[in-house]
Amino acid sequence: MTLTVDFTLDGAATSITVTEAAITLLDILRQQLGKTGTRAGCRNGDCGACTVLIDGEAYKSCLVPAWRVTGTTVETIQGLAPNGEPLHPVQQAFRNEDGFQCGFCLAGSVLCLVSLLRTNPDPTDQSIVDSLVGNLCRCTGYQQIMTAARAATDP
């Protein structure tokens, strides 16, 4: 198959050619589009490191066939602060509250919270936990992540 896929990526009109139905959005983002801030972890839907927003909702990009994003708006961690500064308020909260160490999981957690806060600016702790389910962190510990998430809701 050869399919042209047009979509918006981090605010820019983007066109890719997909030649295999099974190629994932994760691989296209990292290998063709320079979005290496989208991490490749388990590649199996278990860790959340590859999370992106598609039309504002969090998806694990390792589970999304690239052709499925036709006509959508995709946001990666690199779109939140394209020039590095200023950081998005959720990113800043994670920095302020030591919400990460190695940072491998960070993009997934941050994007899930960004998605949550757009629709629910004053979430309960349970809503925060629900939004982060599926994002595994092997180093920081979830208490700091929760602290950062709470700080992001009350910057």
Closest CA to 65 of 30, 27, 105: 27
Do 26 and 40 contact (CB within 8 A), yes or no?
yes
Query: Binding of ligand FES at residue 105 (CB under 6 A)?
Result: yes
Query: Binding of ligand FES at residue 55 (CB under 6 A)?
Result: no
Rg (the chain; Cα; Å): 15
Nearer to ligand FES, 73 or 144 (CB): 144
Give the neighbor-by-neighbor strand order of the sheet with 73-75.
12-18, 3-9, 73-75, 51-54, 57-60
> 5, 27, 33, 41: which one contacts ligand FES (CB under 6 A)?
41
Point out which residues pair with 15 in neighbouring strands. 6
> 57, 102, 118, 119: which one contacts ligand FES (CB under 6 A)?
102
| DSSP code of residue 64 | S
Nearer to ligand FES, 41 or 123 (CB): 41
> 18, 28, 53, 62: which one contacts ligand FES (CB under 6 A)?
62
> 3, 21, 42, 81: which one contacts ligand FES (CB under 6 A)?
42
Closest separation between CB of residue 46 and ligand FES, Å?
A: 5
Cα(132)–Cα(96) distance, rounded to whole angstroms? 19
Could you list the residues that contact ligand FES (CB under 6 A)? 40-43, 45-50, 60, 62, 100-105, 137-140
